[in-house]
Amino acid sequence: MKRHVAKGQSEVVTALELGDAILAALGDSDNVDFITHESGIHIYAKFGYGSQPPLILELTVPKDIDNGFQLAYDVCFQLIAETGNNDVCDLIVRERSAHFNLHSDLNDDDENEYVIYDAIVLDYMS
């Protein structure tokens, strides 16, 4: 599993650690919304049932984290594996600039410091 390191720091972030943090925070709920204080990554994840998408994930990643796109991709597949859905799935990940007027935890001054990665699992295929 790829280790993602913030430039100039020794703190390492892995998809496995983020996935484990999401599952631990999830408890009996179907969604989580929290910030990892070690890496500064803001995580929103929602697990769906029935006609809803099985997984929606939003990672707000500091720009100094190496390869945030790959991190979002890896976290999705780690969560899919942990929930027992190891089949092939349709996964879309997009990178977007932070529109902080839509993001409650961040403000305009943070625009140059974060990137948002949106990921959605559309369907499981067998």
> How many structural domains comprise the chain?
1
- Encode pLDDT of 3-43 as tens digits: 444 444 445 678 888 888 898 988 889 999 988 877 788 88
pTM of the full structure: 0.76
Residues 6+ apart with CB under 8 A from 36: 13, 18, 21, 42, 43
Residues 79 and 89: their CA atoms lie apart, in Å, by: 12
65 — pLDDT class (breaks 50, 70, 90): confident
Confidence (pLDDT) at 7: 45
Please say whether the beta carbons of 71 and 19 come within 8 A.
no
26: domain range? 3-125
Confidence (pLDDT) at 17: 87
For residue 72, which phi and psi values (nearest 5 degrees)? Answer: -60, -45
Confidence (pLDDT) at 126: 44
